[in-house]
A and B are shown apart, each in its own frame.
Chain A
Amino acid sequence: MEIKLRRNAQIFIIDIEGDMDLYQAYKLKELVAKMIQKNIVYYVINLEKVDYIDSSGVGALLYVHSALKKQKMKLLIANVHGSVKDVINLTQLMDYFNITKDVNTAIQELKPLIT
């Protein structure tokens, strides 16, 4: 699993590529924990290039969702598709996460919130 970070104004886009599994999902938690310390407020997690996720991957998304919510920071998860969508569906958390169609849509949704 590789994580790349890019930026659109104050919105940080976390592009994940590869398997979000029991061996690697922790990397997302570590990255976001560091970003929270730097007071970054607006996040998009892009799952376009993730084709496999397991409970550790879902756990990492839950951790990030919860940690950012506590800090009143904003997170949208984009491009939830295929097998990733099926696995999150099994946990019944599709409506719990803030999921949006793609990165551009996420940016358009977050921009009006930026103060």
Chain B
Amino acid sequence: MIKKLLIANRGEIVPRVMRACRDLDIKTVTVYSDADKDMFYLQEADETYNIGPANPIKSYLNIEALVEVIKTSGVDAVHPGYGFLSENASFAGAVAVNGAVWVGPAPAILKAIDSKCYCRKIANDAGVPVVPGTIDKINDVAEIYRFASEHGYPIVLKLDKGGGGKGIELVEEEAQVKDAYERLARIGKISFGHPECYVEKEIRKPRHIEIQFLTDQFGNCICLGERECSIQRRYQKIIEESPSPVVSEAERAVLFDYTSRLALAMGYRGAGTMEYLRSEDGKFYFMEINARLQVEHPVTEFLTGIDIVKKQLTIASGERLGITQEEIDFRGHAIEARVYAEDPVTFHPSPGTITKVDFPVTDSNFLRIDHAVEEGGKVPPYYDPLLAKVIAWGPDRPEAVERLKNALSDFDIEGIKTTIPVNLLILSSSDFIAGCLDTGFIEALYLKDKEASVKPLWPCM
């Protein structure tokens, strides 16, 4: 079993991983940039190290600095959290070279799945439907015209090695093709070092549905249900829930089959997520794989009672899954709201100092808050705006939603602006209550609200 773990990340995920370590009797090592030196969770770690200035490239993305910490502290494993270097094959490789265990899939897998076309190919070969489009990268603009003449517009051009919502171009008509292709190649070259792209048919008004899975090194794979993540803005998720209001028992079984087949075909080890799009006419298409712990993992933990971080750590230690698919007990409904440090009207970032916090009363059965918030704490402008996740459980969807709304109403953060009013507006909207969701939900809600009134957009502020 792992004895001492480096948590190579910042923010709310650090205390989350530390909690699992406490339960498993693992010592913890944390790191911080100059901007994060006063974060409360640092004091709770067994050891903590400064890894550089505020700029993430020089700190949380600085492989050399992190390797130095591995050597100095003598950790035998590294948990990369999410974001930053969590899916970086070079870092995973460097961890292994320095004699520590990487809590996640092998570097070779991380390297391979960095290519979306590789993922599309392996899915296609495994009989898992992918969004209609080219499986291979395209070599010239003529291939795009050829695809469009066969399938019609709109189409979407995507970078083979894009990410974070960057490297996607929607093309509505033939006249836009050439410009879009050239722009994408330019972005790819500058931002990712790879200009290659492929083409897909646009799926209109899709739902974003993902399957959480766990695999061990003995070829066992279990699926821990789906998460509906359609409520997002600019590819940033806002509300996640499980089960999805639309996925039937039969569809779930099919998605589980796709997911475990793909994970095993890749030789994947650890926790991961397969993302699917569901079209308006109810078809599912594999989109991509997230080879890390996800922000929204608590939703699944509430639903199944399985501690995903603990499972990551025991699997990385070489243990068996210890649970079969049949033994998983899916109970009730779980829902998460992400609280961002953003202006609820303009969505502009809102860094600063938290002058006051009042948390809702949590309860291990019904309400959980994962956060990096404390009175007097700083919210630096250099990193992701995620402040906290509020997760509620109920025997059914209405009760879970009600609990979440009550908790958000009782959650008071002062000194900076937060998106709590946005969450409340979403949860109270008739479309949300009816379960009518797609990835254009926020835009539509915004528009409706604007048309309905000339009053401030979010009167509950």
Do A and B make up one complex?
A: no
Interface residues of B (CB under 8 A from A): none
Using a CB–CB cutoff of 8 Å, the interface residues on chain A facing chain B are none
